[in-house]
Amino acid sequence: EFFDLCWADSVTFFKDFLQAEGQDCKDVKQSKWTKHEHFGNARDVNFTSPVKTGFRGVKKKASCHQTQSYRFADKNYLILETSQVMTSDIPYIDYFRVEMRWDVRMASEGEGCVVSIMVDVPFVRKTVFRNRIEANVRSETTKQYTTYLQLANEKCDEHKQRLDQEDSMAPAVLTRSPTLPTAETKPPVPQPRVSIKGIHINGFEDSGSGTNMKSKG
């Protein structure tokens, strides 16, 4: 359900997320999910994103191309991956890309899911500003995916409320007299609805090839 609510072709969640970040979503172009030989299923997203480089006198926006893919390791384990590059005449913006992996698993108690995010910033060219760039990526990613978490939980809450309302409005069909719960019989347990337990961005660890950020909630 997390995928259906936030990543399916039929929803606009990614655009809603970009808009919540103050981005102009008129130029967002998102292809449909298609089968991919290596990644399971993949699609491309193009959009314009504000960029905070820390360098004076440069453009504040860049064109972004993000490749998204997903696959199910099993029925309770979803893997999502994205790889993003930016094009602009902003200095050093083509020196690196931003890669993310989302591990989405059912919560141990059976209600909701646990999301782990790993981020890598591999550099294709050397620069003395690498640490500065990584610090900016860390700061902006923390802000962006705090917003993402809030929006995703709101989306899930709306979904739960809608399902609960539909359940309450459904006509009751009785084929026999109802049986009141006794010490031997327990009332039925409501079916759990999807919700995200949390994404807590803990920080970066040097992985040699770039920077890893791990979060678990």
Smallest CA-to-CA distance from 43 within 12, 9, 67, 11 is with 67
Structure tokens at 20: 């919540």
Question: According to the model, what pLDDT value does residue 24 have?
Answer: 67
**Mean pLDDT, the chain, as a whole number?**
75
The radius of gyration of the chain from alpha carbons, rounded to an integer in Å, stands at 21
**pLDDT at position 195:** 44
More confident residue, 192 or 4: 4
Q: What are phi and psi of 34, to 5 degrees?
A: -135, 155
Residue pair 141/133 in contact (Cβ under 8 Å)? The answer is no
The pLDDT-based confidence of 126 (bands split at 50, 70, 90) is: very high
- Higher-scoring residue by pLDDT: 183, 99: 99
pLDDT in tens, 51-100: 776 667 677 788 899 999 999 998 889 999 999 998 877 788 889 988 88
Task: Give the three-state DSSP class for 30.
Answer: strand
Look at residue 112 in the predicted model and tell me its pLDDT.
76
- Rounded Cα distance between 51 and 150, Å, is 22
Contact 104, 80 (CB under 8 A): yes
Residue 203 is predicted with a pLDDT of 34
What's the CA gap between 58 and 122, in Å, rounded? 23
Please report which confidence band the pLDDT of residue 116 belongs to, taking 50, 70 and 90 as the band edges. Answer: confident
Say whether 19 sits in a helix, a strand or coil.
Answer: helix
The mean per-residue pLDDT over the stretch 7-26 comes to: 83
Strands 211-215, 113-120: parallel, antiparallel or unpaired by DSSP?
antiparallel
Q: Is pLDDT above 50 for 119? A: yes
Percent of the chain surpassing pLDDT 90: 18
Residue at token pair 């994404």: 199
Tens of pLDDT, residue by residue over 138-178, are 778 778 877 887 888 888 888 878 877 777 776 655 455 44
Catalogue the long-range contacts made by 38-42 (C-beta closer than 8 Å, 24 or more residues apart).
39/69, 39/70, 39/71, 39/81, 40/69, 40/70, 40/71, 40/72, 41/69, 41/70, 41/71, 42/67, 42/68, 42/69
Q: What is the pTM of this model?
A: 0.72
Query: Of residues 119 and 33, which shows the higher confidence score?
Result: 33
